[in-house]
Chain A
Amino acid sequence: MPVDKRNDCFRFALPKGRLLPATAGLISKAELGLDGYSSKTRDYRLSSAKIPSLSARIFQEKDIPVQVAMGNYDLGICGLDWIEEFLVKYPCSDLIKVANLNYGEGGIYAISLDDVCGEIANSLAGRGNWRIVSEYPNLAMSFALDSRLRSFRIFPVRGVADTYLPENADMAVLWAESEREIEKWGMVAQKMILSAGSFLIANRESLRTKDLSPVLSRLSSSISIAPRAAVQTEQEGECSPVVSTTRAIPDITATSLALPDGHQQKPAVQFLEKAGIAPQEYALSPLRQRPSIGLAGVAVKVIRPQDMPLQVANGNFDLAITGKDWLLDHKSRFPASPVINMLDLGFGMVRVVAAVNGDMPVSGIDELRLLVQQGKLTPLRVASEYVNIADRYLQDNRLCPYKLIPTCGSSEAFLPEDADLLIDNVQTGKTLAKHNLKVIAVLFESAACVIGNKDTASRPGKKEKIASIIQVLQKGLL
């Protein structure tokens, strides 16, 4: 076992993001000596100034259940939403829910644009083929089964699930603070699937074999005074009346174009400006999910570039600006998918590489394979955001047995403690150098591209429109 199971040291996985401020408050009240844990921290790894055997690592909340279940971490704090998303799929895992921390409350809701409750209730007789979009595909699936939907498809996405309603999905399963919040978006909460506050979780084996009491006792005396009240007053203090923002009825005859958010947004804006069609509200902050574009008959939505290939494959968008890396990841999982690269855009160039810790005595993938075959790294733990590319690469290179740890970015911080190999994109190599990592193989180079659906693109009516948009985009390349 690569995992350090020595009794005298224990490891705590702490969340980034929405739970960070309240969790930092709890950690500080409990006097665990993890003072570096704050919204401003740039370090992923912390050691305790009070309890010498305690160390901590900051993760994306979503990554915490799997880390604790695998035994890489003894304890963790994260939202019940991600815990249940994991447990629904892996009910027999080694993850134990220890205590409700009573803060960061919210819920997982199934939402839609109209009230479809009656239809769900009568789903046995009702219409089939519900399209459900969610960051929580396992919870969405269990919701669909429990509601006895006759026929449904779950489309996993990595964010902005509500944006897909109503043209691209009938329902979204997502986290929201309250039903009021959903009403403010102009949506209807069909069902609260789960009340999702923060929880303390532990690894089953750690609970059985280690003395975690120094941490647990300090936490437990602080939990009772956890800032539940504070969060609630904040909610109640927010007395603004619920304004239903009715969404414009979408033009379904329009050709649809998906533009990326996140890192790819800025270069995409520059490119579209060059092509002379920069959408007005696209560059605004906060981000508008549906900016208008200077092209007649083209409807634009802003979504995650990772989610675009699957959406285009299903005809939810005609065209999308994403990266070749995400196209390849999609094609690795679904070789028969109708998504194709229609135009290379050239910007946002990255290399997708395999990297290991600088101290590992290997300089190439063959030497790494030798180590794996000699049983020195068994199983090889691989962290990657590109799950399908990584899976295929590891099989093609016979790096078996391996354990793939899906990450939501910042894979570099997993090495060396929580993973042996990283498969991720690098732009300049600075991040790798900072984490003492070295590249042992370059898988491919990736840049932005326009993807389309070969089935849709050949349909009369669409064909010409798509060709004319591509023509306009080509101007940006000059």
Chain B
Amino acid sequence: MKKETNRKCKGMRDLLVPDMRRFRRAEDTFRSCCRKWGFQEVRTPVLEYMDLFTSAGTLTPSMLSKVYSFLDWDGWSGERVVLRPDVTIPIARLYIDNLSSRDMSRLFYVADTFVFEGTGKENRERWQCGVELLGGGGVVSDVEMILLAREIVQELGLNDLELRLSHAGLAKALIGEMKLSSLAEISMINDAFLHNVESLAASSSASLKKSLNSFGSVMAFLERMNCDYQVDFTAAQGFEYYTGICFQLLSGGRKIGGGGRYDDLIPLLGGEKVPACGFAFYLDSVADMLPDEVEGQAEKVATVKSNGGNSEAEQTCFVLARALREAGYAVELEFNAREKAPEGSRGVAISVDDPASFIVVTGPKSTRQEVASVEGVLALLGEQA
């Protein structure tokens, strides 16, 4: 029986080598796309004061009750800290603290968030990679977010992308003025419905008109950019900080991300009236959907091995390994090597039992060649390449 102290925490996940390969591929693609659009990476701390999340009034009590919060070792004043349950609010804090003098900040992050989930069967630590465009008002910023998100999904090679659009401001206005309440009533909002509402313009409120107008502009812009979408007002998320356009991204019917406009968040946190929008991908879901990569496919790999305790030969192994690394190889050292190549040994294998005699095994047929120096090994491998 395993020792009780070594058990993994409930709801936490180990990422093994194949998982990390997929995670890194998703992150790398995300990072590279963001940089190409002029975004720069930041990182906020895992711990934040709980006040940050309560003061904005933007997380619902039911979300706040699932936050990991505790008193720190200096928490005698009763000031609680939390493991961040969300990244957008900390990024807004980071912006207010450091960057508010700039007109526009294009930021992105890769971070984990923590939410208590009762059964322990789903992840309580959830990875996100997200983008925040702070200072970006207007339809063009909304469209920038959606097109960047779409490009990332395409670069990741995920199929069947679905983009579902709604509008938090419009939803609030419709619920208020047309007394829509149930999910069924909200789900009937489609293009035709909105067109009909538009025709009531004379009698509708300013906020409804404004929201309708902004939603319509985004839709028209996306159509001109040949970007497919569906109107789906049930797609609104559990975050109360959204004020404008909201979107959800699905691939193969599975939610992989979402975002929207949150113009009130920065003023609520005590900053200036700065418009902002952003989105995030659920990294766990995205990585799960990527195909497994064949091990070492893309890399040049070599194993340098030595049998027995010949210290001169072992020293040579390190020298050879360094030379190979410089030549672009990932090199694994193996001392006390077994007779046969171990299972899963890949790429080139070089045995060094005599500092002046290197046995190089290459190719699918395990061709053996003997070389007398480090330079000779590099030359041989260079020839084959």
Give the B-binding residues of A (Cβ under 8 A). Answer: 88, 91-92, 124, 128, 131, 142, 144-146, 148-155, 310, 313-314, 330, 333-337, 339, 378-379, 400-401
Contact A153 B61 (CB under 8 A): no
Given contacts A145-B54, A152-B54, A401-B4, contact A313 B76 (CB under 8 A): yes
Contact A330 B76 (CB under 8 A): yes
Count of chain A to chain B residue pairs whose CB atoms are closer than 8 Å in the complex: 60
Contact A337 B65 (CB under 8 A): no
Instruction: Kindly list chain B residues whose C-beta atoms are within 8 Å of the C-beta of A154.
Output: 78
Q: How distant is the Cα of A146 from the Cα of B54 in the complex, in angstroms?
A: 11
Instruction: Kindly list chain A residues whose C-beta atoms are within 8 Å of the C-beta of B4.
Output: 378-379, 401
Instruction: Kindly list chain B residues whose C-beta atoms are within 8 Å of the C-beta of A150.
Output: 51, 54-55, 57
Contact B73 A335 (CB under 8 A): yes
27 pairs of residues in contact across A and B, judged by CB atoms under 8 Å: A92-B118, A92-B119, A92-B120, A128-B55, A142-B65, A145-B54, A145-B64, A145-B65, A148-B54, A148-B57, A148-B61, A150-B55, A151-B51, A153-B77, A154-B78, A310-B76, A314-B76, A333-B76, A334-B73, A334-B75, A334-B76, A335-B73, A335-B74, A336-B73, A336-B76, A337-B74, A401-B5
Instruction: Kindly list chain A residues whose C-beta atoms are within 8 Å of the C-beta of B71.
Output: 333-334
Cβ of B334 < 8 Å from any Cβ of A? no
Cβ of B79 < 8 Å from any Cβ of A? yes
A173 to B: closest C-beta gap in Å: 14
A213 to B: closest C-beta gap in Å: 30
Instruction: Kindly list chain A residues whose C-beta atoms are within 8 Å of the C-beta of B74.
Output: 334-337
**Interface centre among A92, A142, A145, by most B CB within 10 Å?**
A145
Q: Mark B3-31, 1 if CB is under 8 A from A, else 0.
A: 01100000000000000000000000000
Instruction: Kindly list chain B residues whose C-beta atoms are within 8 Å of the C-beta of A144.
Output: 54
Q: How distant is the Cα of A128 from the Cα of B61 in the complex, in angstroms?
A: 17
Q: How distant is the Cα of A155 from the Cα of B75 in the complex, in angstroms?
A: 11
Instruction: Kindly list chain A residues whose C-beta atoms are within 8 Å of the C-beta of B75.
Output: 334
A369 to B: closest C-beta gap in Å: 14
B27 to A: closest C-beta gap in Å: 32
Instruction: Kindly list chain B residues whose C-beta atoms are within 8 Å of the C-beta of A92.
Output: 118-120
Q: How distant is the Cα of A124 from the Cα of B119 in the complex, in angstroms?
A: 32
Contact B5 A400 (CB under 8 A): yes
Q: A92-B120, A131-B78, A313-B76 are in contact. List 11 more A-B contacts (CB 8 A).
A: A128-B55, A142-B65, A145-B64, A151-B54, A152-B54, A333-B73, A334-B75, A336-B73, A339-B76, A378-B4, A379-B4
Contact A146 B61 (CB under 8 A): yes
Q: How distant is the Cα of A337 from the Cα of B78 in the complex, in angstroms?
A: 11
Instruction: Kindly list chain B residues whose C-beta atoms are within 8 Å of the C-beta of A313.
Output: 76-77
A458 to B: closest C-beta gap in Å: 18
B269 to A: closest C-beta gap in Å: 11
Q: How distant is the Cα of A330 from the Cα of B51 in the complex, in angstroms?
A: 23
Contact A153 B55 (CB under 8 A): no
Q: How distant is the Cα of A379 from the Cα of B7 in the complex, in angstroms?
A: 14
Instruction: Kindly list chain B residues whose C-beta atoms are within 8 Å of the C-beta of A124.
Output: 57
B180 to A: closest C-beta gap in Å: 24
A195 to B: closest C-beta gap in Å: 20
A401 to B: closest C-beta gap in Å: 5
Q: How distant is the Cα of A142 from the Cα of B54 in the complex, in angstroms?
A: 12
Q: How distant is the Cα of A365 from the Cα of B57 in the complex, in angstroms?
A: 50
Q: How distant is the Cα of A95 from the Cα of B119 in the complex, in angstroms?
A: 15
Instruction: Kindly list chain A residues whose C-beta atoms are within 8 Å of the C-beta of B5.
Output: 400-401
Q: Whose C-beta in chain A lies nearest to the C-beta of B79?
A: A153
Q: How distant is the Cα of A142 from the Cα of B74 in the complex, in angstroms?
A: 22
Contact A314 B61 (CB under 8 A): no
Instruction: Kindly list chain B residues whose C-beta atoms are within 8 Å of the C-beta of A330.
Output: 76
CB within 8 A of B118: which of A91, A334, A337, A378? A91
**Interface centre among B61, B78, B118, B120, by most A CB within 10 Å?**
B78
Instruction: Kindly list chain A residues whose C-beta atoms are within 8 Å of the C-beta of B73.
Output: 333-336
B283 to A: closest C-beta gap in Å: 26
Contact B76 A153 (CB under 8 A): no
Q: How distant is the Cα of A393 from the Cα of B195 in the complex, in angstroms?
A: 70
Q: How distant is the Cα of A334 from the Cα of B118 in the complex, in angstroms?
A: 30
- Chain B residues numbered 64-84 whose CB sits less than 8 Å from any CB in chain A: 64-65, 71, 73-79
Q: Whose C-beta in chain A lies nearest to the C-beta of B49?
A: A151
Contact B78 A314 (CB under 8 A): yes
The 10 closest A-B pairs by CB, nearest first: A153-B78, A336-B74, A334-B76, A313-B76, A337-B76, A124-B57, A150-B55, A145-B61, A145-B64, A146-B61
Instruction: Kindly list chain B residues whose C-beta atoms are within 8 Å of the C-beta of A153.
Output: 77-79
Q: Whose C-beta in chain A lies nearest to the C-beta of B75?
A: A334
Q: Whose C-beta in chain B lies nearest to the C-beta of A330?
A: B76
A39 to B: closest C-beta gap in Å: 37
Q: Whose C-beta in chain A lies nearest to the C-beta of B57?
A: A124
Contact A151 B55 (CB under 8 A): yes
A85 to B: closest C-beta gap in Å: 14
Q: How distant is the Cα of A400 from the Cα of B55 in the complex, in angstroms?
A: 39
Q: Whose C-beta in chain A lies nearest to the C-beta of B55?
A: A150
**Interface centre among B55, B75, B76, B118, by most A CB within 10 Å?**
B76
Q: Whose C-beta in chain B lies nearest to the C-beta of A313?
A: B76
Q: Whose C-beta in chain B lies nearest to the C-beta of A154?
A: B78
Q: Whose C-beta in chain B lies nearest to the C-beta of A335?
A: B73
Q: Whose C-beta in chain B lies nearest to the C-beta of A132?
A: B78
